[in-house]
Amino acid sequence: MTRDLPKSVSQLLPTLVTAVASLTLWALWLGWDQRRDLHPDGSSTGPYEAWQVIGLVLTLLPPLYWAASRRHIAGAVVGTTAGLTVASFYDWSDDASGLFVIGVTMVTLGSIAVTTALSFLIAAVGSRPQPAASVMS
């Protein structure tokens, strides 16, 4: 039984790493910005700016790559999706209209789709046979 422990920990690690990374990166990029921007014409936007969301997506790539390049595709997808879903639910759950559930669902479905595609792409590119090294005399 103790021999199985390292194997189960090594299988769970990519899920935990990507989940914690997703939660942390959401907090760093989006968690601090809670105010909507009011414009002179009375309209409002936000609370997030495009650069914040782009920053979140770009900084999620390294942990996703780390997990997917080690062939832990399920861990990469489940961990990233779980982290983003929990973070968005926590961040948006104070919405009295209840419409935050639609946003959380969109985050969940979008992250499943994108992380699955990227994980398979990363794993496929990483598994290509490397050309043989030529010996120059």
What's the rounded mean pLDDT across residues 23-40?
Answer: 86
What's the rounded mean pLDDT across residues 106-131?
Answer: 89
pLDDT at 3: 59
**Residues 6+ away with beta carbon under 8 Å from 19:** 78, 79, 80, 82, 83, 86
pLDDT at 62: 97
Domain boundaries, given as residue ranges, for the chain:
10-33+42-126
pLDDT at 97: 86
| Model pTM score | 0.82
pLDDT value at 136 more than 70: no
Residues 90, 13: Cα–Cα separation, whole Å: 23
